[in-house]
Chains A and B, each alone.
Chain A
Amino acid sequence: MPPRSDRPDDYAGPLDQLEPLEPPDTETERSGPPGDRPAGVPAKPAAPALRPVEFARWIWRQLTSMRTALVLLFLLAIASIPGSLIPQERIDPNAVLAFKANHPSLTPLFDRIGMFAVFNSVWFSAIYILLMLSLVGCIVPRARVYAKNARARPPNAPRNLSRFPAYDAWETAEPRAVAAARARDLLAGQRRRVEVYETADETVVSAEKGYLREAGNLLFHVAVLIVLIGFAVTGLYGFKGSAAVISGQGFSDTLTQYADFTPGGRYDTASLPPFQFTVDDFNVSWKRSGAGVGTPLTFNADLSVTSRPGAKPSNYDLQVNHPLNVDGVSVFLVGHGYAPVVTVRDGKGRVAFKGPVIFLPQDSSFTSFGVIKVPDASPTQLGFEGYFFPTAALNNAGQPYSAFPDADNPVLSLIAYKGDLGVDSGPPQSVYVLNKDHLTPFTMGNGKPEALLLREGKTIALPGGAGSIKFDGYKRWVKLQISHSPHKIVPLVGVLLAIAGLLGSLFIRPRRTWVRLRTVDGRTVVEAAALDRSSGGDPDAHIADVARRLRPAADVDGGEAGITADCATADSATETKEHS
């Protein structure tokens, strides 16, 4: 007999005669100090005062218990929720700014507890690190137990088979040895591991199948770790960045060209590969009529790529699902927008600024917001802030809006400022924000600041001879995500292993079957019982099937035919499914 366990909670009844179904470390050993025992389980005598080692061991057992794993999983789910409801820095920094502006009272608290960066916060990390610890603490001992048990023979039957729910018994005239041999052949024929225990009083045929389930389960849990390690490694040795490039302009892979750049902890920025490319053209088309008007149909950027200085440029058609790969770096097209081209003259009539300025799209009709800074204007610096409407229209209130994403009727609406832009001193500024601390708006006839409305080609003079602004036209720009993710194969392999392990874990159903034969008054008394070691199986059907096949045909209606006929019933169809 295998060692008998004293499983505290879930194996009352007949099962207490079995070795634990899961390896001891997951649950059985929780019989340490205080513990959260379910009702009805007698508490052990109060634990003696804990010594540090024992205490540490107790903590470890708590951490690696199934119940803790369950609680940690729930915590992980709950902790993710704010990350989807509150804007996150990493995803949408503009939305974070807007949220902060709208909720000034919540902001300090949220900032302190990391609500704007939930997935990097201390508490989120704490939960998942604990879960990983628990996972390791769970896998290692289980793997050890499994290694020991994997080659074990099916154990002898517990004393009292009739206490199993899946149980049947019958009598037969067949000699014990013959019946036992048939039982063995039947179970072995179903690809079960079979062991026969023979004593003077009884013969027990013990069978087991489904050893690979535990292996699958362990593989799955290990693979979860591999996936996470894989993600960490690709991040650690790679980098992520983004850049906005105006059509007609170029990009070369140096730090200064990135709008943002996040190297992994182990990435050496000196090793940026020296490629460069020019965005020759950017094409976009929208659906113009019918259902789904305004949906983008296609967009693509024509690039000329030079993989290293001096190399011959080659053309590449960059699209959303068609990234550019060059020198281990991938360039993804993730967005696009408009860059109005303006000419600003200052009070002295000199051209103080001329060129395209990137405006950021605000909605699906590409109403775009942006600022134009003219630090070179004199006598005072000039600044503009406002909107670009690709297809301008007026709403009922007389306010302009964009009716369509394409540039059918481009209009620029700007408020002009004069004063000190603050670019010459102080901390570096965002190019998309106008610092108005030392700026005053130009006022129009009624003494209020008013937006200047510019059509393509139109020039508007600023009041008081401060200069003028001309809307020359527009260009398009593309937002590129540029990243280097080495060792992608690690998480990919992890994913495949996880799914393979999961399938094994969920679809292999370990089951123990016992047939006990005893001779009583010259007849053979046969008992059969089965126990599943995982949920989802139907041991009743299995035992019914075993009973049907083992009851000698002679007892039913004489002859092999009886058995065959019996097996063709609806019930045995169920059993067949069971095995499929």
Chain B
Amino acid sequence: MTETFAHISNNALYSATFIYVLAMLAHVVEWSMARELPAPAVTARPALVSAGGVTRGVTALPPAGSAAARAPVDDDGAERSDRFGRIGLSLTVLGLLVHAVGVVARGIAAQRVPWGSMYEFAITGSLAVVVAYVILVRRYDIRWLGLLVTGFVSIVLGIAVIVLYRPVGPLVPALHSYWLLIHVSSAAIAGGAFAVGALASVLFLLRSRLEAKALANPDAPRTGFLWRTPPAEAIDRVAYRVHAFAFPLWTFAVMAGAIWAQYAWGKFWGWDPKEVWAFITWVVYAAYLHARATAGWRGRAAAYVALLGFATFLFNFVGINLFGTGLHSYSGM
């Protein structure tokens, strides 16, 4: 029985990786087909002033100035590009289902939550990323993030199945606790959302650079996929909302870890390397939220802080698991 499910899990995760790569390719085609496409007509009323209550520090863009910048509309091209976008999303959803089967089967094979090794953290964490993305596509229509998300998840899941793979093993006694469920599930969901937030911040940076260039040079043609994404301001808003969801959850995960540590080892906080980096991540994201409310830091600077936050999160997962010592080192390979 263990064997069967382990087998199912492995096959499902290989397939999911493959499907995500296909989804990514579909999005690549979506982008490349949009290379010659002009920016869609501005539907929103042009903003009169740059400073808005929402995204102060993010500059709204006036419509293209010249005929050259307003390239002829190409509805067919737009439709073709869009079709590949939709294919990419469908494949992502399919990948998600197969991926979920892989994670659940792994849990059944091990007869416990699949959170006992780095391999298992990676497959669960990447699942959380895709779940977060698909929910947000439904909610805020963020399909424009498809290329970055599928690219990221293909890489993570690919590394997991190829490099990190470990056969089903037992949980070390330290993990025999329902706190594992509370602590790791909240951390994984927060991590998934941080990842989506980071990718949205990347796109925000790209898009806002584009807008800044267009502002400096209103006559340059505005073509390419990036011009088909929402305005930087709207991307920034999505990024903020995702982070605003992830941060309290991460706070909860860290605090739950502290309570577990008190319960299992008799101290809330021991500053072992994993705890240090969880703390650093928390502080950097708190700085991100602050940055958004601090003059001179809104917009691009804040987005860089968000990326820094995600970098510290990844380092905790990769760097500390591989090289770390301390009480958490069982979470390694």
Contact = CB atoms under 8 A, between A and B. Distances in A.
- By CB atoms of chain B within 10 A, which of A77, A295, A531 has the most? A77
A523 interface: no
A321 B293 contact: no
A119 B47 CA distance: 49
A297 interface: yes
B168 A66 contact: no
A320 B290 contact: no
A165 interface: yes
A321 B49 contact: no
Contact of A13 (B49, B273, B286): B49
Nearest to A69: B290
B72 interface: no
B65 interface: no
A9 B271 contact: no
B293 A22 contact: yes
B268 A503 contact: no
A447 B301 CA distance: 69
B269 A231 contact: yes
Contacts of A540: 44
A74 B305 CA distance: 10
Interface stretch (B81-89, B97-105, B259-267): B259-267
A27 B295 contact: yes
Contacts, number: 198
A538 to B, nearest CB: 7
A163 interface: yes
B266 A536 contact: no
A14 B55 contact: no
Interface string B149-169: 000000000000000001111
B247 interface: yes
Contact of B252 (A88, A499, A532): A499
Contacts of A66: 290, 293-295
Interface stretch (A56-64, A89-97, A449-457): A89-97
Interface stretch (A198-206, A263-271, A284-292, A395-403): A284-292
A332 B265 contact: yes
Interface string A247-258: 000000000000
Contact of B169 (A295, A535, A539): A295
Contacts of B1: none
A80 interface: yes
B52 A166 contact: yes
B271 A532 contact: no
B259 A492 contact: yes
Contact of A162 (B48, B179, B258): B48
B264 A14 contact: no
Given A90-B270, A295-B169, A502-B247, A165 B255 contact: no
Nearest to B309: A77
A380 interface: no
B48 A332 contact: no
14 contacts: A14-B51, A66-B294, A81-B276, A85-B273, A95-B325, A165-B54, A323-B263, A481-B266, A498-B251, A506-B244, A506-B245, A536-B237, A539-B53, A540-B44
Chain A to chain B: the 9 pairs with minimum beta-carbon distance, closest first = A292-B169, A291-B167, A84-B276, A165-B52, A84-B273, A483-B266, A532-B53, A321-B177, A9-B295
Given A287-B170, A492-B259, 10 more contacts: A10-B56, A69-B290, A70-B294, A77-B283, A85-B273, A481-B267, A495-B259, A536-B241, A537-B54, A539-B53
Interface of A: 9-15, 22, 27, 38, 66-67, 69-70, 73-74, 76-77, 80-81, 83-85, 88, 90-92, 95, 118-119, 162-168, 231, 234, 240, 287, 290-292, 295-299, 319-321, 323, 330, 332, 334, 481-483, 485, 488, 491-492, 495, 498-499, 502-503, 506-507, 530-533, 535-540, 577
